[in-house]
Structure 1
């Protein structure tokens, strides 16, 4: 197998092909689904696979040990307030000051009504 290197001799860390990682290891996304986080531990292994979707063609997913993972820190009221404030800022048009109800497109930099206003006036 091309990416099977459990001793880490070829790639520097233990490497496994897609879907063949041993039990006891998980990606960040898998840890989060279990309510865990890496907690400062080093990468224990990696998964390598080829993908036609990406220009480089080679994808990697880092694996962390489940026994060293720590619980996710809970959101505090201050964090919830900061998140709400940031989301409100992303929905507020800088031209007219209205909350448009969805995130403003970064390519326009303003709400659709303000972006279309010069075209309608002409």
Structure 2
């Protein structure tokens, strides 16, 4: 197997092909789905695979030990307020100053209504 290197001689870290990682190891997303975080532990191993979407580019995902993972810190009221304010800023149109109800696309720079109005005026 191309990416199978459990000793880490070839890649520096124990390396496994996609979907063949041993039990007890998980990616950050898998830890988060279980309500855990790496908690400062070093990377234990990695997954490597050749991506079909990215024109054969080799992709990598780091694996962490589940037994050393810690619980996710709870959301505090101040963190929740800061997150709500940041999301409101992303939804507010700079042209008409209204809450668009969705995140303003960076490609447009304003809400769809303002962009359509500008396109019709031109």
Which TM-score band applies after superposition, normalised by the shorter structure?
over 0.9
Q: Counterpart of 1:99?
A: 99
Secondary structure at 2:105's aligned position in 1? coil
Q: For the residues of structure 2 that align with 1:113 and 1:82, how far apart are their CA atoms? A: 27
RMSD value, Cα:
1.3
Q: For the residues of structure 2 that align with 1:29 and 1:23, how far apart are their CA atoms? A: 16
Deviation at 1:18, TM superposition (A): 1.2
Deviation at 1:56, TM superposition (A): 5.6
Unaligned 5+ residue runs, structure 2?
none
Relative distance call for 1:23 and 1:119 in structure 2 (3 A) is closer
Q: Counterpart of 1:35?
A: 35
Q: For the residues of structure 2 that align with 1:89 and 1:53, how far apart are their CA atoms? A: 33
Q: Counterpart of 1:77?
A: 77
Secondary structure at 1:49's aligned position in 2? strand
Length-normalised TM-score, structure 1: 0.94
- Ranges of 4+ aligned residues in structure 1 off by more than 2 Å: 116-122
Q: Counterpart of 1:111?
A: 111
Deviation at 1:117, TM superposition (A): 2.2
Deviation at 1:55, TM superposition (A): 4.0
Deviation at 1:67, TM superposition (A): 1.1
Length-normalised TM-score, structure 2: 0.94
1:45 and 2:45 matched: yes
